Amino acid sequence: MNPFFSLLKLLFKAAIFFTLFAFALNNQADVTVHFFFGYQWTSPLVMVVLISFAGGLLLGILGMVPRWWQQRRQARHHAALAKVPSAPIPPTSDETLTHGL
Helix segments in 27-85, DSSP class H: 45-83
Question: What is the pLDDT of the chain when averaged over all its residues?
Answer: 85
- 18-40 pLDDT, tens digit per residue, is 998 888 888 788 999 898 998 99
How far apart CA 32 and CA 80 sit, in angstroms, is: 55
DSSP tally for the chain: helices H, then strands E: 2, 2
Indicate the pLDDT class of residue 82, thresholds 50, 70 and 90: confident
Instruction: Name 42's Cβ contacts closer than 8 Å, sequence gap at least 6.
Output: 30, 31, 32, 33
- The pLDDT, as a whole number, for residue 100 is 56
pTM of the model: 0.56
